[in-house]
Homo-oligomer: A and B are copies of this chain.
Amino acid sequence: MSNNQMVCKSCPEAAADIDMQDLVAKLEASYADRIGVNLAETYNLPGQAEVERLIDRLLEVIFPGFSSSPRHRESLNAETTVLLVELKEELLSQISRAMRFGCSSGCCGECEWTQRGSAAVKALFAALPDIRALMKFDVQAAYDGDPAAVSLDEIILSYPCIKAITIQRFAHVLYQYGTPLIPRLMTEYAHSATGIDIHPGAKLGRGVFIDHGTGVVIGETAVIGDFVRIYQGVTLGALSFPTDAHGVAIKGCKRHPTVGNHVTIYAGATILGDITIGENCVIGGNVWLTEDLPAGTRIIALPPEQQKKQRSGKPRT
């Protein structure tokens, strides 16, 4: 049975009585509706592993030598060219696949998915220098905002917000061009690695700093200005959302906050609904906010009422 000679004399056939044919038949019946089945013959899906590889290479364009071996100055131009050419092929393959998947009426070979895939790739490539420019603001914002930060390189190497925000910026371009599946795969890769969950639809300004980041949730229609600083556990979410007659959420409407420039949001604050936080506001830890906040306001939550008493009995050992 197992490779390590753990055979029991009294039950050599113990697991052999799994009726494999019956099991396969049951599963096959369950696959018939094709929910959760990715068939090669249909509009098959982009691959998770392939998309993660794309992300790593896109990050390499933004931060050369950080996720790979150090680059050589003299070949940096050449290496970048090679990287981009390879990346173009791979992006076209995965994005075209996603676009074809999104082509719900079947694909005739004459429809627009290849054009739309090419347009999305072109837009992402065109955005790369801009994303690199934005990341310089993000890195500087982390340095300015964290007393524990020692160097810009340390921030790029090890701050989770840099990874999460840069990946979201890639995903946002593809989201704008209507790419199915891939933007969300990208941001979930970042979410898994960092605990920071930013929807591809969110619009982020420059110089955004998210410290620690675990538990941060930024929803699809959130808009975040320049030089905004956000701490762990902050939610920029929806207050509630309209549902149709069947109780299914209606998709698409603006339902998340708009945050002005130079706003600071401390840990655990919950900001819900399509509200506007004016410039230069400071939102304290654990604040609960569902209404607009005028520019320049500092809002704090008074701590909960607390009771202290001296412990009796033996202390915990």
Please determine whether A267 and B235 come into contact, CB atoms closer than 8 angstroms.
yes
A168-209 near B? 1/0 per residue, CB < 8 Å: 000000000000110011001001111101010100000000
Please determine whether B24 and A36 come into contact, CB atoms closer than 8 angstroms.
no
Q: How long is the Cα–Cα vector from A114 to B9 in the complex, in angstroms?
A: 10
Contact of A180 among B3, B7, B154, B286 (CB under 8 A): B154
Please determine whether B66 and A45 come into contact, CB atoms closer than 8 angstroms.
yes
Q: How long is the Cα–Cα vector from A249 to B147 in the complex, in angstroms?
A: 5
Please determine whether B279 and A192 come into contact, CB atoms closer than 8 angstroms.
no
Sample of 6 further A-B pairs with CB below 8 A, known A6-B100, A28-B77, A45-B153? A14-B117, A14-B119, A23-B128, A27-B129, A146-B249, A217-B267
The count of residues in chain A whose C-beta lies closer than 8 Å to any C-beta of chain B is 165
In the complex formed, the residue of B with least CB distance to A247 is B317
Please determine whether B69 and A262 come into contact, CB atoms closer than 8 angstroms.
no
A149-180 near B? 1/0 per residue, CB < 8 Å: 11111101111100000000000000000001
* Interfacial residues of chain A within 96-129, with CB under 8 A of chain B in the complex: 96-97, 100-101, 109-110, 113-115, 117-119, 121-122, 125-126, 128-129
Question: Looking at A229, A233, A262, which has the most chain B CB atoms within 10 Å of its CB?
Answer: A233
Please determine whether B298 and A286 come into contact, CB atoms closer than 8 angstroms.
no
Please determine whether A238 and B197 come into contact, CB atoms closer than 8 angstroms.
no
On whether A154 and B132 interact (CB within 8 A), knowing A1-B96, A6-B96, A267-B270, the answer reads no
A84 at the interface (CB under 8 A from B): yes
Please determine whether A11 and B84 come into contact, CB atoms closer than 8 angstroms.
no
Please determine whether B71 and A38 come into contact, CB atoms closer than 8 angstroms.
yes
How many copies make up the complex?
A: 3
Please determine whether B299 and A307 come into contact, CB atoms closer than 8 angstroms.
yes
Please determine whether B217 and A214 come into contact, CB atoms closer than 8 angstroms.
yes
A57 at the interface (CB under 8 A from B): no
In the complex formed, the residue of B with least CB distance to A197 is B212
Please determine whether B311 and A93 come into contact, CB atoms closer than 8 angstroms.
no
Please determine whether A147 and B89 come into contact, CB atoms closer than 8 angstroms.
no
On whether A15 and B180 interact (CB within 8 A), knowing A139-B36, A304-B302, the answer reads no
In the complex formed, the residue of B with least CB distance to A272 is B285
Q: How long is the Cα–Cα vector from A49 to B84 in the complex, in angstroms?
A: 23
In the complex, chain B residues whose CB is within 8 Å of the CB of A92 = 1-2, 15
Please determine whether A6 and B97 come into contact, CB atoms closer than 8 angstroms.
yes
Please determine whether A288 and B307 come into contact, CB atoms closer than 8 angstroms.
no
Contact of A80 among B27, B71, B145, B310 (CB under 8 A): B27
Please determine whether B306 and A15 come into contact, CB atoms closer than 8 angstroms.
no
In the complex formed, the residue of B with least CB distance to A317 is B247
Please determine whether B38 and A148 come into contact, CB atoms closer than 8 angstroms.
no
Q: How long is the Cα–Cα vector from A56 to B278 in the complex, in angstroms?
A: 46
